[in-house]
Chains A and B, each alone.
Chain A
């Protein structure tokens, strides 16, 4: 070639480049991306391919997003020149170990319709920014699904985390299985399995997860995951004949309600009866009747539906009695055993972390006494000092169980307690605020009901929730005369659920004050 020609011309693509396979793994640190990479490298080598893998070690791997990259080509006389990192528009196989990481890959241009087989697990591993929001900060991954369908040449998508966990393995095994099953690499299944065997660690469980994922990925007929609708849980109700009879009487009352509100009211009734008793359920339905009387069919009974939901939540408040009751119920120990995957031969100790505050203990007292003590700082401090330490209770031991059991048994006393009076008062005030807006603005009344969502948590969190709730209602009062007041109410509520301190809410309130 030397000096033959001064000016060079354009060339066609080297046909050998077609044999080059570029594969990137987008993972979250700690998901076993390194193991997966070494398996892929081993498979390629076993099949007579020249292969090169790269990774980034170090701090970036501590639970952060990270990329492993592999290139391979049939081995020949001369070594191919491989790239060390994936390039946009030039990735043949992209493996994403989590749904949002698939999104990140698409965003970075690593998934293109002309070449990329996208293999992604649909499960979510939430980022800190999603988890820490007081409301619901989780990102909707449906957009990623849509984008994946458009961007990938071939798409293999299922919950590989579940496949792995079900087999007692980790996701690297099921991703490897999905890769093998996809047929995107021109290698036989046995060579993949051999790579797992050769690595020598957790071979059986890895192979099980591999096999499961292989069969799902290699069978395009496998139906997409069925999405379970919310509220699909079914319950069996049991108790004495008399109790059941009364329960059915309450259910019959619900059947007289408009169909739109029946389902949610049943769920609400279930919650309040479980919280207290059938009479309490009766009073729940009485309150709903009051709301229903003012509601309209042409609004789809939205007001009653929201009331059914939030009155139930308000009536089933989280007091000491409820927590003690839930912690000592019969099915709880079984449920925990199942959730923790404890084998039947093993024993299980359960430690509860309780830290009641003076307010919660005083809340158990009769209304009059309670109010008196609550008003005296010195008394509250004394109670806090003597009774309110952090306590670790072993509910599998007799005495700790008995203590909580007795507390849980105070249910009969509850309706006379200060806490009950406070909760009911708060609820009635909230209901009357909502119904007060009803005549002038139906939508606003509905939004006010929804604001109940802000009140949650225990102790300080609960107090902060109540204060935010009050500020939201104040803000709503300021705009109540406006046509768009319902939009503002919804905006205020969303702002209140955005951050802990209520900075977003303060901002929204400031905006409101600027124009009223």
Chain B
């Protein structure tokens, strides 16, 4: 069960001709796919397109009604490989994953697919995880399009343009026999807006029907000498066909006056931000009517020579707005100008920054800088010589601490790393590698466990150099998502085959949690359409791991610590794998909280746990926080002149996971923590017994009070 349900929203996918759909980007894309007669869809989750996978999963019924096959692929490589269906069959297929890391994983299949070429339209929808809110290294997927020669769309970020790009993408793919990548930036995936819908179309040839008439043609296989022919075909046939289609169908757009001294060439995805800069300079109106000619590259690869040169005609200077680096587009356009012997002056990364996101501020400064050099007459006096003074106030850079993401309240991964930290306090620091997933937050304070992350499912593989043993064993972390994505073969298989004397901890929270709680092979939930409940331990044993320990309640810190200690100290010198399983708390709460509230309302007996701290007992040393970092465990300043430091305090968001108490016990911290189990709707016997107990306790308490002074807070 994914974190966010689209069950209600996907019903809108059934809207027909001439109706209006108000939605987010991801839903609009799904609708466009159905309107284009797509035959199969798939992908692998990852921000910012995780929710597109969730929409597809929730829409599975609607998809199958149309005869569309939906696969939740095992990885991006698997997703890209699925597009092989469009090589021989005239069936449109679309897959989605994140860029650039997902594209990295998929690149083998993408390169082969591009070499073979396609018959049916093949669309790769990539959520480009770049700029603010990104969780990965800052790179571009653009390079992959250039090296494998598939086409790259970067539409203007509004729903109509995105929907049109889906249709254009399929047609371009079919017209040129080449797969097409549709790139969406982080905020475009979730931008809201409206589109006018059309009827959904069942695929003219369904994947099911295709099986009745299998196709093969060895000239499509990537083997010599056909592979040499593929390269020539790309350059001599597919590319010119693509250029022709782009020009004829006007996939790239022109805005503003035909003639001017200056112009701006921009990626489609940059359009709104460039318009905003022009709006702020008085050079565009609210609706985007601009005084500066724009050449909007909705197709950023290939660049169309004739179209670009025509745009440059009569202009003195042109600015290229290209986010990310290296500046592939700018280099390509420069070559075109040079070869054409043009005198147009090209500006780009000399004015705009080479690296980093092109925010509103960056573009305002960039466009202003360009115009100041190329056409100062377009700038108003206020811009040329601003006379407002910036207000002065205290420098806040020291008062605003960083707030990176971290484990959620009650996260079951927290006690695993608390246990690991305790073992390290006992046995010394170890060489630890991390992986991709929520567990990567353990590399940050307060745990600071793990010093590298090499890729999804590659935690243990990235410790391979240390597998030969030494004074202290190397430890690596792997999530259940990474395990099934790539880890089973690349990491675990690698450990087994190389007889690695190391320890791998598999963090199993029952979901691909970091990407939004999608189900996995080892998920414990029953799924209508997917096969779940395949234990990780079974797979481990199957590939030859003999030392496996499974723990089913990660919150049991002493036990967790004991198992880790055992793995680090045992005589066994082969690979040791610990599977630490507890359900993702975010998902668990989402499932259980409404049920609990309902039960309480209906008068059934329910116990609800929560933790608290006795502030008189807490000395304010914060040792508990250094083993937790839980958002609900915070500090409070006491109204007591004798106390200097704030004490620990647990707020109402506590879900009673137990980590605080377990850690206080395991690390022998302090007796300040207590757990309260609130019993809603208790039975009468229970009430009676409790009343009796309370009476005895009250008597004892008042007995003690008699002999001493009592200070009662007013």
Known: A13-B280, A84-B273, A264-B641. 17 other contacts (CB 8 A): A5-B259, A10-B378, A12-B380, A13-B282, A59-B47, A67-B133, A83-B275, A100-B399, A139-B401, A237-B709, A267-B640, A340-B610, A340-B676, A351-B677, A402-B700, A460-B668, A465-B621
Contacts of A459 in B (CB 8 A): 668-670
* A361 CB–B CB distance under 8 Å: no
The 8 A CB mask of A352-395 against B (1 = contact, 0 = none) is 11110100000000000000000000000000000000101001
B604 within 8 A of A: no
* A80/B287 contact (C-beta < 8 A), A60-B405, A133-B622 known: yes
Give the distance to chain A from B388, nearest Cβ to Cβ, in Å.
Answer: 7
Interface residues in A1-50 by Cβ distance below 8 A to B read 1-14, 16-17, 19-20, 28-30, 41
Chain A neighbourhood of B701, CB < 8 A: 328-330
Q: How far is it, in angstroms, between the C-alpha of A126 and the C-alpha of B636 when the chains are bound?
A: 10
Cβ < 8 Å to A, chain B residues 396-449 = 396-397, 399-409, 438, 441, 444-446
Q: Which of B261, B616, B669 is close to A458, meaning CB atoms less than 8 Å apart?
A: B669
Q: A81 touching B132 by the CB < 8 A rule?
A: no
**Nearest B-chain residue to A88, judged by Cβ:** B361
* Cβ–Cβ < 8 Å partners of A113 in chain B: 391
Cα A263 to Cα B640 with chains together (Å): 12
CB atoms of B400 and A235 under 8 A apart: no
In A96-135, the 8 Å CB interface with B consists of: 100-101, 103-104, 106-107, 109, 112-114, 125-135
Residue picked from A17, A131, A339, most chain B C-beta under 10 Å: A131
Residues from chain B with a CB closer than 8 A to the CB of A503 are: none
Binding site for A on B (CB under 8 A): 46-48, 50-51, 129, 132-135, 157-158, 185-193, 257-261, 271-273, 275-276, 279-280, 282-288, 291-292, 314, 359-361, 364, 375, 377-381, 388, 391-394, 396-397, 399-409, 438, 441, 444-446, 514-516, 558, 607, 610, 612, 614, 616-617, 619-623, 625-626, 629, 631, 633-635, 637, 639-642, 644-646, 652, 661-662, 664-671, 673-682, 686-687, 690, 693, 696-698, 700-702, 704-706, 708-714
B639 near A232 with CB under 8 A, answer: yes
User: A165 to B406, Cβ gap below 8 A?
Assistant: no
A500 within 8 A of B: yes
On chain A, the residues within 8 Å of B401 by CB distance are 100, 127, 129-130, 139
13 contacts between A and B (CB under 8 A): A2-B258, A63-B405, A84-B185, A100-B400, A136-B645, A149-B393, A237-B709, A243-B708, A336-B676, A346-B678, A351-B676, A457-B669, A497-B645
- List chain B residues, Cβ under 8 A from A125: 631, 634
Q: Is A318 a contact partner of B619 (Cβ separation < 8 A)?
A: yes
CA distance A352 to B670 in the complex (A): 11
B631: which A residues are within 8 A, CB to CB?
Answer: 30, 63, 125
In the assembly, what is the distance between CA of A84 and CA of B406, in Å? 26
A128, A330, A340: the one contacting B698 at CB < 8 Å is A330
A88 to B361, CA, bound (A): 6
In the complex, residue of chain B having the shortest beta-carbon distance to the beta carbon of A29:
B405
Least CB distance, B258 to chain A, in whole angstroms: 5
Residue among B359, B377, B680 making CB contact with A87, cutoff 8 Å: B359
B713 partner residues in chain A, CB cutoff 8 A: 233-235, 331
Q: CA–CA, A362 to B388, complex, Å?
A: 73
CB pair A128 B629 closer than 8 Å: yes
CB of A291 within 8 Å of the partner chain:
no
A90 touches B280 (CB 8 A): yes
Contacts of A277 in B (CB 8 A): 708
When C-beta atoms are compared, the residue in chain B nearest to A82 turns out to be B272
Cβ-closest chain A residue relative to B557: A390
Residues in A whose Cβ lies below 8 Å from that of B287: 78-81
In the bound complex, CA of A87 to CA of B258 (Å): 30
A65 and B646 CA atoms in complex are apart in Å by 24
Instruction: Please name all residues of chain A whose beta carbon is closer than 8 Å to the beta carbon of B675 when the two chains form the complex.
Output: 350-351, 353
B315 CB to closest chain A CB (Å) equals 10
The answer to whether B47 touches A58 (Cβ under 8 A) is yes
Supposing A30-B408, A330-B705 touch, asked if A500 and B623 sit within 8 A by C-beta, the answer is yes
What is the CA–CA distance of A14 and B679 in the complex, to the nearest angstrom?
63
Q: Do A62 and B192 touch (CB < 8 A)?
A: no
Which residue of A28, A271, A465 is within 8 Å of B642 (Cβ)? A271
Interface segment out of the listed A140-148, A188-196, A482-490 = A140-148
**Inter-chain contact B190/A55, CB cutoff 8 Å:** yes
Q: Which of B46, B272, B714 lies in contact with A234, CB distance below 8 A?
A: B714
Q: Among the interface residues A83, A104, A150, A231, which one has the most CB atoms of the partner chain B within 10 A?
A: A83
Pairwise interchain contact B693-A397, C-beta atoms closer than 8 A = yes
A85 within 8 A of B: yes
List 8 A-B pairs, minimum CB-CB distance, nearest first: A87-B360, A58-B47, A56-B133, A64-B405, A390-B665, A457-B621, A150-B393, A81-B288
Question: B641 to A231, Cβ gap below 8 A?
Answer: yes
* B676: contacting residue among A144, A312, A350, CB under 8 A: A350
- A277-297 residues with Cβ-Cβ distance < 8 A to B are 277-278
Q: Are B399 and A85 in contact (CB under 8 A)?
A: no
Asked whether B403 lies within 8 Å of A65 as measured between CB atoms, the reply is yes
Q: In the complex, which of the residues B50, B375, B392, B558 contacts A58, with contact meaning CB atoms closer than 8 Å?
A: B50
Say yes or no for A323: interface residue by CB 8 A criterion. Answer: yes
Cβ contact within 8 Å between A62 and B405? yes
- Flag whether A89 is at the interface (Cβ < 8 A): yes
Given contacts A103-B399, A277-B708, contact A355 B275 (CB under 8 A): no
B291 touches A8 (CB 8 A): yes
- A136–B642 CA distance with the chains assembled, in angstroms: 14
Give A139's nearest chain B residue, CB to CB. B399
> In the complex, are the beta carbons of A342 and B676 less than 8 A apart?
yes
Contact B47 A8 (CB under 8 A): no
Contact B669 A461 (CB under 8 A): yes
